[in-house]
Structure formats: structure tokens, C-alpha cells
Chains A and B, each alone.
Chain A
Amino acid sequence: DTEVTQTPKHLVMGMTNKKSLKCEQHMGHRAMYWYKQKAKKPPELMFVYSYEKLSINESVPSRFSPECPNSSLLNLHLHALQPEDSALYLCASSPLGLAETDTQYFGPGTRLTVL
């Protein structure tokens, strides 16, 4: 089973709202990732959690705040977003087993629209 789940599937929010995206995996994977994908562009890495600790922040604005409450769950808290933040937000996880064979599996994504 290589399933990563994400909720909600769609989210519409105003620029003053606070919302959260949720990602869950029950594969025992030890790394989890947030990506942002704009139309006709490849996914762009935002954050990486490795063993529940933030390993990398790709200079993401502070209006995006990640959280990893446990090894199976990853959240992305959103506050004061801009219309240009509208995108598909993808969560992924990977086992972090053998270095050379680590593979990321993506969830279905959350389609975010900021009005």
C-alpha cells in the first residue's frame, strides 16, 4: 500500500482567512514533503520533514507554516495568503530506507484558490 491521503480536496479562502491542509500516511515512512504546483509547471519543493523534524524550508514565506504532529501526519497552516498562492498543494512521503532507493509517493493534492 503506497497511499498518501490529503484533505480537503478543494479549498477556497479569502486573503484574511486561516486554514489548514492535512496529509496522512500509514506506510511507516519517515520523511514527508510539501510541494506547490502551479498550472503547467513542475512541483516545487516547499518543506521537508525528516524523522518529524523540519529538515528544509525552501525559503517559503511565513504565511505558510508546516507542522508535523507525529510520524504519520503533516499539516500546512495557511494565513493571509495572496491570490498568487492559488495552486495545487501536494504532499508526499518516502521511506528513507536505503539512500539510493528512497522513493517519494504523492497524495492526490489539495486545489487551493485564494480570492
Chain B
Amino acid sequence: QKEVEQNSGPLSVPEGAIASLNCTYSDRGSQSFFWYRQYSGKSPELIMSIYSNGDKEDGRFTAQLNKASQYVSLLIRDSQPSDSATYLCAVSPFSGGYNKLIFGAGTRLAVHP
């Protein structure tokens, strides 16, 4: 069983719409949750981090965490073609003095004009 699961997509949304990206994880002891954006051929770029249940908003991005359901999501409002990328969900149990990230396979988002 995969530890962090994401729908691989592609998720296709029209420009200006809300894109909803979902992620589930298996380790109930997970402490920290991250969304990274990765353009083709580039390295992952941190979009959002969330540590507590509820919503966290940053500009057009909102991360949602539900630890009871082991579910984390990312909403992108007013989607732009420049948002087209692969979005990686990463989860960390944080133990032993280092931060081991477990990545999902990523969801490819395509925003079309």
C-alpha cells in the first residue's frame, strides 16, 4: 500500500476556475504536510505547508488538512495557465532529528485558456 496517494491526473480545468488537488496518507503519526509545484524539467518548489487541522490560505492557494480522515488538499483559485505543472503532496512524520519526506506520485494539472 502506497504511503501517500494522489490522483495522477491530468486534472484539466479552464482558466479562472478552482483546481482541487487531493492527497491521502497512511501514517497516522504524520506531523507535517507540504505541497510542492514542479514544472517539467525543474525542481520542486514549495507552495504551501500545513501542520494543524483546518484551512491555511496564502494568496490564491488554500491548503486543507483533516488528520482524522488522513486527508490533505490544495485548492487553487482563479487558475492560470502558468499554474500548469505537477503538484506533489509530501508528508513527514519528523522523527530522529531529521525530516523524511514521503512524496505522492504527483497530480498533473493542466489549465487551459
Contact = CB atoms under 8 A, between A and B. Distances in A.
Interface stretch (A13-21, A73-81, A98-106): A98-106
A87 interface: no
B7 interface: no
Q: Is the interface of B mostly helix, strand, loop or mixed?
A: loop
Nearest to A43: B103
Nearest to A32: B98
Given A42-B104, A102-B92, A107-B43, A56 B98 contact: yes
B49 A45 contact: no
Given A42-B88, A42-B104, A100-B32, A55 B96 contact: yes
Contacts of A102: 32, 92, 94, 99
Contacts, number: 67
B44 A106 contact: yes
Interface residues of A, number: 27
Interface residues of B, number: 25
Contacts of B31: 99-100
Contact of A55 (B32, B98, B101): B98
Interface in A71-114: 88, 90, 94, 96, 99-109, 111
